[in-house]
Amino acid sequence: MEKYHKTDIAPVENENERDENYQADNPQINPTRTRENYNIIRRQRSYTQFINDKIAALDLPTKVRKDAVLMCSFVVGSDREFFRRLSTNKQQQFFVDCTRFFAERYGEDNIISAVVHMDETTPHLHLNLVPIAGGRLSAKTLFGRKELQSLQTDFHAAVGKKWNLQRGREGSQAKHLSTAEFKAKKIVEQANGEADRRLRITQLDAKEILVEAQSQADRKLQMAQSQADELVAEAQSQADNAKAQAQEYLDGVIHSVENEKAKPIPKRRRQAEEEITLLRTENEALRQSKSIADRDRKDLFEQLQKAERAGKGKEQAFKMVNDMLSAYPEEFDVLLSKSRAKKSGTSPFKSHGFDRDGK
C-alpha cells in the first residue's frame, strides 16, 4: 500500500491511466501492448477532482491540512506462472474479485479507480481510493499496522484461497516495499531472468555446436576409416592376385617337371642309346655355342681396347703437332716445305750460286 499527498496525485493518474503516447521511464513497460490495459472502475472525473468532490461532501469542520494523505493505492497481482495458467477471461475475473473485495471493505463510492496493466512483465491491478473512515479523512485509522495485517488475512480468505494463492507469513518482520521499490525489484528480477535465459540459450547453442562438431568429426573419422579399409582391401586383393599368379606359375613349373619325371624310362636298349646320344649331341652343341660366344666376346673386348688405345694415340699426336704449330710456326713451315720438296724431288731453297753460264 502507498500513501499519496496532493502534489503526488496527478503523476500517479498519468502513470495509471496511460495511453500509447505515454512517455514511460519504466523499462518494463511495452508501449505496443498499452492498448491492452483496461479499467474495472473508471470515473468521468480526474483523480484530483474526484478526491476534491469527496472531501467537499464530508462537510468537515476544518480545512484539510496541506500534508494530509488524500489517496491510498494498492498493487495487486501474482507471479508470471500464476497468470500463465489462466485464460484471458479468468485473469479478468481474478481482478474483478480483487476489486470487489476492496469495494465491499472500504466502500465502492470511495474507490477512485481500478485499472489493470497488461503492458508490463506480469498483469497487475492498481486500485486507488480515498481514505475516508467515520465521515472524515483518515489514512492512519484505516491503514494502521494491525489493519494492514488484518487486510492481508481477510484478502487471502476471500480471494487468495479461491484462486489457490498462498498468504505471506503472518507476523513477518519483513519490510513491505513501496510501489517504486517493488517495480525496481521487478526490473532487477526481469533483468536477472533475461540474463539467465540468455545464458541458457548460449549454453544450449554451445552444446549444439559441440554436438555438431563431434558429429562431423565422427563422420569424417568414419569416412577416413572406410577409405583406409578400402585401400587395405584393395592392397590385399592385389597381393592375393600376385600370390595366386606366382603360385599358378610355380604350379605350372612343378607340373612340367613332374610330367617329365613321370615319363617312363625306355625299356629297349636301342631307344635308350638313341636318347642318350641325342642328349650328348645337344649338350655338346650347347657347349660349343657357349665357347664360341665366349671367344667372340673376348675378341670384341680386345678390339674395343685397341681402338680405344689407337684413338688415344691419335689424339696425343694431334695435340703434340698442334702445340708445335702454335709454338714454332716458322720452323714448322720450313719442315713442311722440306717434306713436300722431298716428295716432289725439288729443293725447297733458292740457289745463291752461279748458273750454267757462270753468270
**Mean per-residue pLDDT, 8-33:** 92
pLDDT of residue 226: 84
For 307-330, how does the pLDDT look when each residue is reduced to its tens digit (9 = 90+)?
677 766 666 766 776 766 677 677
Residue 203 is which amino acid? Answer: Q
> Worst-scoring range by mean pLDDT, 35-44, 76-85, 136-145, 321-330?
321-330
Range of the domain at 296: 270-341
The pTM score is 0.52
Among the candidates 176, 208, 230, a domain finishes at 176
Residue 299 cell numbers, joined: 675378341
Please name which of 87, 75, 143 lies closest in space to residue 113, comparing C-alpha atoms.
75
Domain final residue pick, 209, 238, 263:
263
pLDDT classification of 130: cutoffs 50, 70, 90: very high
d(CA 328, CA 37): 130
In a domain, 350, yes or no: no
Instruction: Say yes or no: 168 and 103 in one domain.
Output: yes
- 144 and 31, same domain (yes or no): yes
On whether both 99 and 41 belong to a single domain, the answer is yes
Sheet with strand 38-41: strands edge to edge: 2-4, 71-77, 124-129, 111-117, 38-41
Question: Which pLDDT does position 112 carry in this prediction?
Answer: 98
In the chain, helix, strand, coil percent, each to 5? Answer: 65, 10, 25
What CATH number has the domain bearing residue 42?
3.30.930.30
Stretch among 102-106, 225-229, 334-338 having the lowest mean pLDDT: 334-338
Check whether residue 285 and residue 242 sit in a common domain: no
Residue 71's nearest CA partner among 11, 155, 146 is 11
Q: What are the tens digits of pLDDT across the range 211-225?
A: 888 888 888 888 888
Q: How far apart are CA 50 and CA 205, in angstroms?
A: 56
Say if 181 falls within a structural domain: no
157: pLDDT strictly greater than 80: yes
The pLDDT tens digits of the residues spanning 331-342 come to: 667 777 777 777
What are the two backbone dihedrals, phi and then psi, of residue 180, each rounded to the nearest 5 degrees?
A: -65, -40
